[in-house]
């Protein structure tokens, strides 16, 4: 809502700077979204009379004028051609500051001095018209300040009106609110007029769709002088409030809407056949609207029609057909209350929002109707020479009356945390328009019908709180004795994220929805349909992810495209899988989703709830490594992304994990493994299949990745003390030759199972294939640590090593090298 | 006595050799030559027993004196030489200290999650737990239970992503509050961080963003407790000087509803051209309010017995403000040039 301050002052007096006013409104009522300035901010605008006007000698497009400012004649260079000797014009004097902050100075334009500027409507903030200088009529006295006739500068506050306050979509409502904040009074314009002319009842009124139209009023104004313009000040206000002045009738209609917050519609009575019908649109009905578009209506939309055709999409926009024009002399004023949700739905389905629909969709106060109706009528009489019919037609079968809402002072004090003194609370509620009765600690407020948001005690407490001022509320902390904390699972995620960051990975957050290309490019099985969005922003963001991988790969590709070929990223996030609903339970599931109710006899609540979701979410951690994940230094080798780099990370996340080859379509068949924690599959690790890499536009060499179910990760397993002796361990190496295909991990596992009491550690420290070993074989160098209660003898160690060699020979055909 | 003269000769000879030794190695040769097992002086000492009794004492005394004198001289010379040699070695071992160290890996944590972790830790200190819930949510938990019935305009304002009938991507983390209240009795003190989704995309809106909401329900909670909690959090996040103010606002699930502003941590309101607060002096932190009695009733709490407050922040925006990030979209692109800065 745009609130021009000079207009606001018509209803309420206030002596505040703009900053103070903004603060008062934003701390007690609505947010002020912006401050707009129009016209002349500071300085003088004087009524001048053009004495001479002619072409500029040195410029084709400029003119030069001599202007009498009331005893003083000045020369002014102008761009507009429309002034003439004898014309009265507004002249802004040098030194004045314009709305955009520029300061007007004496200037020389093409050799001629210019002492001020004659102003267009746009420069004065009256309209967007910049085609010529505003010409003033004879009533403007030469030499006087224009500001004595109308404001030459305007400050407009843009209020961000909360949806529960439709009453603030009108100037009077804003004035009432400000008066309540400031503890002062406000004024509503008096409406008085004489009646005459042909009666409204020459036309009929029939409301067929009563459910969508609680109130509908008509009043006729005839004998209007056709083609008139609204007074300058009215046009100026409409413009400042953000609308476009058009002609006297439309401007009066809009002015009244802006003033009252109540939209209205003015029909050219001569085009209305027989009478007004309020009905739902007919099947396949179309309407050509004022904005030039033709709209297809549906049968849930409310239409204002005559006996032959639709005239208005109710509360939204009128048809071109019944538009008032320059020849209109006889009008019917419609002021009505529509069901807000219906207007909202219509406006949403047509993607058509107007000043009227924005107000109507909130659901307005039917008791506002007579004031707005007669305000339009009286302004038409005053400014367009109309004659107001003595009768009105009104459909208002169920009048709305004010209702009572209670307020216990103790309850208010409890919720607000401040003392609530009775008389002060009563005063605030009365300022809002409530009738208030108070007895001891209880207040009963009779709520005016324009405050439909005030129904309950909590609503009144809010009003009291904000008008008292939230600044009064002290700062306290709840005194709870609960011990807060993270659950072990939450703590684990923390530790895991920090660990990955410490290992050099960058944490990312990627979108959980993407294109169906993801599944194709990963060659995932079809038939396993993921949950999809019904209204994605684009087809590229339609499917919920079943893996973290594709989003991370897209990010890696993006990084590569921007020249960052190397790096490692990880994400902790959810993946989504569709879970078919139990047989025959679709209706029950829908009922649950909409109402939270599990009305399934014999169903365990928990089971029902999760099976009715239809989507399963699981938390995963995934990572992608590309290029030189650790850059080399002058004294350190480069480390490039590969299977073992990713595996090393996985080993930190899932201690004790076992790895065995498993083919996944998107991974390198020889460089990928399933990760097991105990017997359970915890995830996978591997290098990306070159074909997959290509599909994801990754061309910079091997890409390694992993993805694990968070439930199996244990980045910081609970420690348990193991006793140790001070006897030093004896280290022995053993190099064996085995077939290339023998997994080193199996060899280590077999060694571990020999049951040696001395063996304190075993690891692979070298693997070699090449000239030194036969084709199809490899040399595996193992290093063992032996430790006993006492210093071990060579004999004992050698005996143990022999047992190990024997085991490796029997299990893997291993031959000890270098014997 | 010839032997004693010889001993004295050896002493001068040896002392000259000690001072002449140029390295600890030379010095060791000198020591072996004059004090070693087959050195002349050693031989003399060995032969003392064969001397006449009256000479033994004199010769023995002289030999021992010279031995000690030589050992002292060698010891002292050795220290000098070793010191010099160590210095030389250290000089030779000098490195170019401006060369970079061995590169240990340095990763990063997402800026939003840094904020979330920090805020969560603050609330844990106040006795809060973390509550979590699904990102695919039912219509009921996301809207209806929060006092936003079907057809309510607020639903459209939230630009919801829909899935299968009755399912949405949660538009806020508020359904977690509902699920929490349905699963336990008061007192409730929880924070709910998480991803949320709205169908919106421009430089200041992304279809996914993060929220942190908090909920407290207990006996006797008031707006003052809400304000005190938010103010303490603001001081934790933005420094001890941070001042908090509340403005009236409107949310379906709170009554009264407020917006919370915190004084600009950069200029404190003193700079009309401040880039962070745009001269306003205040930064909008988020919405809050006292839990609407209708919501309390909906989850089976007695609004006459219990009151509560709820609040919500946008940690992405907090990160933007705190770290000076101009564009929200950067947060969700996985761009290493961005992520590595945190």
Contact state of A477 with B126 under an 8 Å Cβ cutoff: yes
Contact state of B331 with A509 under an 8 Å Cβ cutoff: yes
Q: Which residues on adjacent β-strands are paired with residue B162?
A: B168
Same domain, A298 and A387: yes
Instruction: For tokens 């995963």, name the residue.
Output: A620
Q: Are A52 and A10 in contact (CB under 8 A)?
A: no
Q: Closest Cα of chain A to B222: distance in Å?
A: 4
Q: Are A55 and A88 in contact (CB under 8 A)?
A: no
Strands (E), A281-321: 286-288, 294-296, 302-305, 310-313, 317-318
Same domain, B300 and B153: yes
Domain boundary among A443, A472, A501: A472
| B196 located within any domain | yes
Residue A561 sits at the chain B interface (C-beta within 8 Å): no
Same domain, A352 and A220: yes
List Cβ neighbours of A225 (8 Å cut-off, separation of 6 or more): A329, A384, A385
Note down the domain range covering A764.
730-816
How far is the C-alpha of A675 from the C-alpha of A677, rounded, in Å?
7
Same domain, B86 and B193: no
Residue A531 sits at the chain B interface (C-beta within 8 Å): yes
| A104 located within any domain | yes
| Residues A104-122 pLDDT 10s | 998 888 888 899 999 999 9
Instruction: Name the packing angle between helices A488-502 and A643-653 (round to 10°).
Output: 150
Residue A568 sits at the chain B interface (C-beta within 8 Å): yes
How far is the C-alpha of B236 from the C-alpha of B119, rounded, in Å?
8
Same domain, B62 and B210: no
How far is the C-alpha of A230 from the C-alpha of A238, rounded, in Å?
10
A94, burial (CB in 10 Å: exposed 0-12, middle 13-18, buried 19+): middle
List Cβ neighbours of A265 (8 Å cut-off, separation of 6 or more): A253, A304, A312, A318, A333, A334, A356
* Model pLDDT, residue A607: 57
Mean pLDDT of successive 10-residue segments in chain A (819 residues)? 96 95 95 92 92 88 91 90 92 92 88 90 90 92 93 94 92 97 95 94 95 96 92 95 94 97 95 94 93 93 94 93 88 95 91 93 93 97 94 96 96 96 95 93 95 94 96 94 91 96 96 92 81 91 95 95 92 94 85 83 60 92 93 86 95 93 93 94 96 91 94 93 85 91 90 85 90 89 89 87 90 81
* Model pLDDT, residue A603: 54
Q: Does residue B7 register a pLDDT over 90?
A: no
| A194 located within any domain | no
Same domain, B133 and B272: yes
**Complex ipTM, two decimals?**
0.87
Q: What is the DSSP letter of A715?
A: S
Same domain, A236 and A360: yes
Global confidence as pTM:
0.85
Which is more confidently placed, B52 or A415?
A415
* Model pLDDT, residue A329: 93
Nearest to A299 by CA among A315, A312, A286, A282: A282
| B103 located within any domain | no
Same domain, A212 and A346: yes
How far is CA A685 from its chain centroid? 39
Q: Does residue B152 register a pLDDT over 90?
A: no
How far is the C-alpha of B282 from the C-alpha of B269, rounded, in Å?
7
Contact state of A482 with B187 under an 8 Å Cβ cutoff: yes
| B258 located within any domain | yes
* Model pLDDT, residue A610: 79
| A477 located within any domain | no
Residue A433 sits at the chain B interface (C-beta within 8 Å): no
Same domain, B62 and B192: no
| Residues A521-535 pLDDT 10s | 998 876 678 899 999
Same domain, B129 and B219: yes
* Model pLDDT, residue A632: 82
Residue B280 sits at the chain A interface (C-beta within 8 Å): no
| A484 located within any domain | no
Same domain, B75 and B195: no
Residue range B123-130: average pLDDT? 95
Structural domain tally of chain B? 2
How far is the C-alpha of B274 from the C-alpha of A519, rounded, in Å?
48
Encoded tokens for A801: 């090593």
Q: Considering only the C-alpha atoms of chain A, give the largest distance between any 2 of them, rounded to a whole number of Å.
A: 130
Q: Are B291 and B308 in contact (CB under 8 A)?
A: yes
- Among residues 635-664 of chain A, which lie with CB inside 8 Å of chain B? 635-636
3-state secondary structure of A788: coil
Q: Closest Cα of chain A to B87: distance in Å?
A: 25
Q: How long, in residues, is chain A? A: 819
Per CB-CB distance under 8 Å, the chain B contacts of A33 are none
Note down the domain range covering B196.
111-339
* Model pLDDT, residue B335: 95
* Model pLDDT, residue B277: 81
Domain boundary among B93, B128, B156: B93
Same domain, B86 and B121: no
Q: Are A251 and A264 in contact (CB under 8 A)?
A: no
- When scoring B223, B260, B283 by the number of chain A Cβ atoms within 10 A, the one with the most, hence best to mutate, is B223
DSSP string, A350-375: HT---HHHHHHTT---GGGHHHHHHH
Q: State the sign of the Cα–Cα–Cα–Cα dihedral B180, B181, B186, B191.
A: positive
Residue A598, CA distances (Å) to A316, A549, A595, A604, B175 in order: 41, 36, 9, 9, 17
Closest CB from A465, A484, A594 relative to B223? A465
Q: Are A157 and A39 in contact (CB under 8 A)?
A: no
How far is the C-alpha of A166 from the C-alpha of B267, rounded, in Å?
36
Q: Which residue of B has its CA nearest to A489?
A: B130
Residue B113 sits at the chain A interface (C-beta within 8 Å): yes
* Gap between the terminal Cα atoms of chain B: 89
| A388 located within any domain | yes
Q: What is the DSSP letter of A525?
A: P
Same domain, A223 and A289: yes
Same domain, B26 and B81: yes
Q: Closest Cα of chain B to A597: distance in Å?
A: 9
| A625 located within any domain | yes
- Among residues 177-206 of chain B, which lie with CB inside 8 Å of chain A? 187, 189, 195, 199, 201
Q: Are A362 and A407 in contact (CB under 8 A)?
A: no
| Residues B209-228 pLDDT 10s | 999 999 999 999 999 999 99
Three-state SS for A53-94 is EEECCCCCCCEEEEEECCCCEEEEEECCCCCCCCCEEEEECC
Q: Are A270 and A221 in contact (CB under 8 A)?
A: no
Nearest to A780 by CA among A749, A727, A742, A811: A742
* Model pLDDT, residue A584: 82
Same domain, A342 and A381: yes
Structural domain tally of chain A? 6
* Gap between the terminal Cα atoms of chain A: 94
Per CB-CB distance under 8 Å, the chain B contacts of A634 are 99-100
Residue A590 sits at the chain B interface (C-beta within 8 Å): yes
Q: How long, in residues, is chain B? A: 342
Same domain, A540 and A686: yes
Per CB-CB distance under 8 Å, the chain A contacts of B167 are 531, 593, 613-615
């Amino acid at each position: 809502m745009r609130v021009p301050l000079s207009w606001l002052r018509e209803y309420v007096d206030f002596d505040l700077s703009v900053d103070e006013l903004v603060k008062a409104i934003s701390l007690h009522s609505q947010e002020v979204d912006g401050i707009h300035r129009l016209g002349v901010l500071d300085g003088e605008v004087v009524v001048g009379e053009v004495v001479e006007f002619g072409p500029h000698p040195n410029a084709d497009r400029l003119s030069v004028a001599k202007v009498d400012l009331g005893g003083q004649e000045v020369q002014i260079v102008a761009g507009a051609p429309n002034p003439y000797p004898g014309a009265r014009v507004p002249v802004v004097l040098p030194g004045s500051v314009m709305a955009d902050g520029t300061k007007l100075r004496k200037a020389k334009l093409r050799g001629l001095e210019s002492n001020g500027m004659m102003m267009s409507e746009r420069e004065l903030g009256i309209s967007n018209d910049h085609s010529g200088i505003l010409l003033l009529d004879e009533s403007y006295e030469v030499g006087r300040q224009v500001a004595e006739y109308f404001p030459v500068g305007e400050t407009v506050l843009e209020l961000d009106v909360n949806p529960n306050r439709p009453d603030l979509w009108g100037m009077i409502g804003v004035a009432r609110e400000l008066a309540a904040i400031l503890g002062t009074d406000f004024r509503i314009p008096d409406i008085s007029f004489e009646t005459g002319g042909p009666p409204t009842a020459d036309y009929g009124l029939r409301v067929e769709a009563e459910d969508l139209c609680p109130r509908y009023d008509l009043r006729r104004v005839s004998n209007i002088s056709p083609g008139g313009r609204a007074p300058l000040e009215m046009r100026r206000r409409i413009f400042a409030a953000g609308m476009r002045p058009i002609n006297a009738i439309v401007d009066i209609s809009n002015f009244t809407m802006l003033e009252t917050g109540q939209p209205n519609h003015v029909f050219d009575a001569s085009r209305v056949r027989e009478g007004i019908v309020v009905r739902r649109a007919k099947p396949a009905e179309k309407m050509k609207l004022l904005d030039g578009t033709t709209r297809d209506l549906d049968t849930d939309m409310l239409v204002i029609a005559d006996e032959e055709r639709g005239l208005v999409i109710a509360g939204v926009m009128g048809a071109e057909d019944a538009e008032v024009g320059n020849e209109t002399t006889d009008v019917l004023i419609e002021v009505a209350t529509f069901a807000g949700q219906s207007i909202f739905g219509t406006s949403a389905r047509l993607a058509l929002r107007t000043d009227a629909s924005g107000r109507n969709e909130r659901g307005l106060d039917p008791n506002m109707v007579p004031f707005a109706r007669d305000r339009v009528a009286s302004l038409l009489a005053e400014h367009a020479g109309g004659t107001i019919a003595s009768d009105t037609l009104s459909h208002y079968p169920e009048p709305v009356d004010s209702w009572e809402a209670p307020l216990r002072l103790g309850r208010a004090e409890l919720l607000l945390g401040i003392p609530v003194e009775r008389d002060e609370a009563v005063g605030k509620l009365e300022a809002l328009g409530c009738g208030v009765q108070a007895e001891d600690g209880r207040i009963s407020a009779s709520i005016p019908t324009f405050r439909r948001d005030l129904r309950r005690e909590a609503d009144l407490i809010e009003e009291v709180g904000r008008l008292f001022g939230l600044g009064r509320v002290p700062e306290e902390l709840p005194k709870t004795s609960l011990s807060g904390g993270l659950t072990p699972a939450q703590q684990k995620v923390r530790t895991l994220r920090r660990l990955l960051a410490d290992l050099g990975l960058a944490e990312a957050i990627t979108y959980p929805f993407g294109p169906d290309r993801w599944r194709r490019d990963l060659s995932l099985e079809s038939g396993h349909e993921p949950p999809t969005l019904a209204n994605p922003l684009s087809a590229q963001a339609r499917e919920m992810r079943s893996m973290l991988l594709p989003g991370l790969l897209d990010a890696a590709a993006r990084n590569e495209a921007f020249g960052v070929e190397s790096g490692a990223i990880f994400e902790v996030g959810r993946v989504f899988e569709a879970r078919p609903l139990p047989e025959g339970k679709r209706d029950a599931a829908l009922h649950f989703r909409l109402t939270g109710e599990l009305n399934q006899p014999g169903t365990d609540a928990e089971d029902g709830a999760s099976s009715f979701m239809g989507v399963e979410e699981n938390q995963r951690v995934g990572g992608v490594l590309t290029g030189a994940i650790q850059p080399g230094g002058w004294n350190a080798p480069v480390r490039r992304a590969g299977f073992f780099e990713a595996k090393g990370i996985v080993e930190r996340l899932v201690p004790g994990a076992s790895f065995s080859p498993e083919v996944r379509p998107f991974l390198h068949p020889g460089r990928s493994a399933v990760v097991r924690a105990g017997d359970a599959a915890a995830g996978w690790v591997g290098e990306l299949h070159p074909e997959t890499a290509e599909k994801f536009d990754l061309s910079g060499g091997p890409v390694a990745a992993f993805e694990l179910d968070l439930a199996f990760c244990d980045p910081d397993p609970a420690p348990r003390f193991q006793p140790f002796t001070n006897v030093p361990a004896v280290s022995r190496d053993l190099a064996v030759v085995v077939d290339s295909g023998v997994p080193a991990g199996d060899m280590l596992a077999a060694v571990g199972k020999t049951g040696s009491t001395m063996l304190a550690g075993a690891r692979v420290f070298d693997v070699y294939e090449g000239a030194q070993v036969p084709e199809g074989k490899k040399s595996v160098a193992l290093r063992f640590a032996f430790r006993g209660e006492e210093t071990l003898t060579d004999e004992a160690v050698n005996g143990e090593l022999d047992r190990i060699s024997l085991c490796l020979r029997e299990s893997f055909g291993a031959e000890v090298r270098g014997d | 006595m010839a032997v004693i003269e010889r001993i004295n000769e050896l002493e001068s000879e040896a002392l000259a050799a000690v001072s002449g030794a140029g390295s600890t190695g030379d010095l060791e040769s000198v020591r072996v030559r004059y004090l070693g097992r087959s050195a002349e002086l050693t031989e003399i000492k060995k032969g003392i027993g064969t001397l006449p009794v009256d000479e033994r004492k004199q010769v023995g005394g002289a030999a021992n004196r010279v031995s000690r004198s030589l050992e002292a001289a060698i010891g002292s010379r050795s220290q000098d030489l070793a010191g010099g040699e160590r210095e030389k070695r250290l000089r030779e071992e000098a490195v170019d200290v401006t060369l970079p160290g061995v590169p240990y890996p340095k990763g990063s944590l997402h800026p939003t999650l840094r904020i979330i972790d920090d805020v969560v830790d603050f609330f844990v200190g106040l006795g809060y737990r973390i509550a979590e819930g699904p990102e695919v949510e039912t219509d009921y938990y996301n809207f209806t239970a929060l006092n936003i019935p079907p057809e309510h305009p607020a639903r459209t304002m939230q630009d919801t992503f829909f899935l299968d009938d009755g399912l949405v991507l949660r538009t806020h983390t508020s359904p977690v509050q509902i699920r929490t209240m349905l699963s336990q009795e008061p007192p409730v003190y929880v924070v709910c961080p998480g991803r949320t989704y709205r169908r919106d995309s421009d430089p200041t809106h992304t279809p996914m963003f993060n929220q942190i909401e908090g909920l407290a329900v207990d006996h006797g909670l008031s707006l003052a407790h809400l304000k005190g909690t938010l103010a303490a959090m603001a001081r934790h996040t933005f420094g001890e000087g941070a001042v908090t103010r509340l403005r009236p606002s409107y949310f379906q699930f709170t009554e009264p509803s407020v917006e919370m502003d915190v004084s600009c941590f950069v200029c404190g309101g003193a700079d009309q051209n401040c880039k962070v607060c745009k001269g306003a002096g205040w930064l909008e932190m988020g919405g809050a309010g006292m839990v609407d009695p209708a919501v309390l009733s909906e989850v089976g709490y007695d609004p006459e017995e219990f009151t509560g407050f709820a609040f919500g922040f946008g940690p992405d925006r907090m990160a933007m403000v705190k770290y000076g990030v101009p564009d929200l979209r950067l947060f969700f692109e996985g761009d290493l040039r961005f992520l590595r800065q945190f």
